[in-house]
Amino acid sequence: MRIGLDFDNTIAIYDRVFHRYAQELGMPASVPATKHAVRAWFWDQPLGNTPWTELQGLVYGTKLHEAELGPGLEDFLRACQARGVAVSVISHKTRYPALGPKHDLRAAAQAFLEARGIVGELGVEPERVFFNDTREEKVARVASEGCVAFVDDLPGVFTEAGFPRQAQRLLLDRAGEVADVPPGVIPCADFAAVAMALWGAEG
Ligand SMILES: [Mg+2]
């Protein structure tokens, strides 16, 4: 049995990192420390999407080591190991940011996975980490890895045409802020809820 995990905002949580570096670009500290709130503030500014896109390049490229782990992720990965459940990391991540300096985003993510013991001690094999250029390629990988379940923070991943029909769809919605949860998708506030969805109370 194998399950798949998304990387950005599922394994690595950036809320506080975005909030910290957005203030260096003029965002007031009073904006709530969530990625959505920070993004909304940038989108309301006259320069629109560009500073937000550059901030993403900075955070995903050089500040990734400041990110936190998804809530309950370490315990969840230990539970997977105890059950003999294999885990693949399947991410939609281009090698370089869309704008700004050419940081290697995949190398940064790989280093994060190793530094936090996800690849290694917590059981994910290095050859089961996949960075994909498109969302289409990502869901094809969920299928080719034979995942019985996939965890992602974006509902659109589960409704992508190539998403494997039989795989369980677990939406990591930490703030309970996803308004339109697609049919068949189970919202989970943290990885304890993911474990509950997969294995029930005995998990
Ligand atoms: Mg994500």
CA distance 196 to 201: 6
Distance 159 CA to ligand 1 centre (A): 14
| Entry pTM | 0.93
Give the domain CATH number at 83.
3.40.50.1000
| Total domain count, the chain | 2
Asked whether residue 7 falls in the same domain as residue 22, the answer is: no
Residues 103 and 143 placed together within one structural domain of the fold = yes
Identify any residues that bridge with 4 across adjacent strands, giving them in sequence order: 88, 150
Looking at the structure, tell me whether residues 131 and 189 fall in a common domain. yes
In tens digits, the chain (203 residues) has pLDDT values of 999 999 999 999 999 999 999 999 999 999 999 888 999 999 999 887 888 988 988 899 899 999 999 999 999 999 999 999 999 999 999 999 888 888 899 999 999 999 999 999 999 999 999 999 999 999 999 999 999 999 999 999 999 999 999 999 999 999 888 888 999 999 999 999 999 999 997 64
pLDDT, position 81:
97
For tokens 């980490």, the residue is 129
Q: Which residues, in sequence order, are bridge partners of residue 8?
A: 12
Residues with beta carbon < 5 A to ion ligand 1? 6, 8-9, 153
| pLDDT at residue 202, rounded to an integer | 61
Q: Please give the residue range of the domain that contains residue 145.
A: 2-12+69-199
